[in-house]
Amino acid sequence: MRPALACCAMTLLWCVPVALFAAPGGTKLSGKVTLNGAPAKPKPLDLSKEPACAQMHAANPLVSDSLLLGPGNAIRNVVVYISEGAPYPGPAPTTPVLFDQQGCQYTTHVLAFRVGQEVKISNSDPLSHNIHPLAKVNREWNKIQPPRTPPFAYAYENEEFIPVKCNLHPWMQGYFVILRTPYFAVTGDDGSFVLPELPPGRYTITAWHETLGTQSHEIEINYSGEPQTLNFTFTAKP
């Protein structure tokens, strides 16, 4: 599911909150994203088409990353960002974000970064992968990465939520979330997020999840500088 952009890194094998910009003297906005209800139990992924991958996970089968929950039904991999009212974004960071393929999976399931910022893509596996971001607004491309080859980098020109797959291993799926605003975060194991300190103003804050959809709330940031809290609750789908 892909949101309209006008409305709006699991490092290794876990997810951490990401906050990438700070405006001195602003107001910190934090919160938590949780699920109401019980989702269907995830089923092990079928890795049989690649025996080397199946062997890697023989003792601990891989399951889909499309809905990962933490304690208290906290939802991981939710992108929370300013979809309307964000201040001028400034230049894109010169430091690339990292996207690795390891253990026959993407080590970061949802990777958020800026328009114009490079994503550096690597293959840490002893077998080849073919990374294929399925862009619609940006240019679509795919590239094979044999083992022990150097990483390569790419930068996107437009905002977009892009599904990513491996053409050789269909269970490998993830997302690139490319945003103009630097005011964004990706929820970690506990479903929490912290947006960078916001200057006074009225904003629309949007939470996006790949299967649960989007939610948006308007908030008013005043001049007091007192921290504010905004929580999101999604409902489990049958």
pLDDT at residue number 26:
81
Phi, psi of 54 (to 5 degrees): -60, -40
HSE at residue 139, side-chain half, CA atoms within 13 A, is 6
| 3-class DSSP string for 74-120 | EECCCEEEEEECCCCCCCCCCCCEEEEECCCCECCCEEEEECCCEEE
Tokens of 167: 């053409």
Mean pLDDT along residues 119-124? 98
Q: Is the pLDDT of residue 78 over 80?
A: yes
* Domain layout of the chain by residue ranges: 27-231
Helix (H/G/I), strand (E/B), else coil: 56:
helix
In the chain, the percentage of residues whose pLDDT exceeds 90 is 80
Q: Considering the chain, what is the average pLDDT of its residues?
A: 89
Q: What is the pLDDT of residue 224?
A: 80
pLDDT tens digits, one per residue of 37-61: 988 888 899 999 999 999 999 999 9
Nearest-angstrom CA–CA distance, 98 and 123: 11
- Answer yes or no: is pLDDT of 18 > 50: no
Q: Dihedral, CA atoms, 216, 220, 225, 228, nearest 10 degrees?
A: -40
Q: Give the pLDDT confidence score for residue 210 in this predicted structure.
A: 97
**How far does CA 19 lie from the centroid of its chain?**
12
- CB count, 10 Å around CB of 122? 18
Residue 23 — pLDDT band, cuts 50, 70, 90?
very low
**27-231: in CATH 1.20.1070.10:** no
Element (H, E) at 54: helix 51-56
What band does 223 get if pLDDT is binned at 50, 70 and 90? confident
Statement: the pTM of the whole predicted model exceeds 0.85:
yes
Of all residues in the chain, the percent with pLDDT exceeding 70 is 89
Residue 41: its pLDDT value, please? 86
Average pLDDT over residues 188-208: 94
Residue written as tokens 């601990």?
A: 60
- Residue 25, pLDDT > 70, answer no
pLDDT of residue 16: 37
Six-digit token string for 148: 């022990």
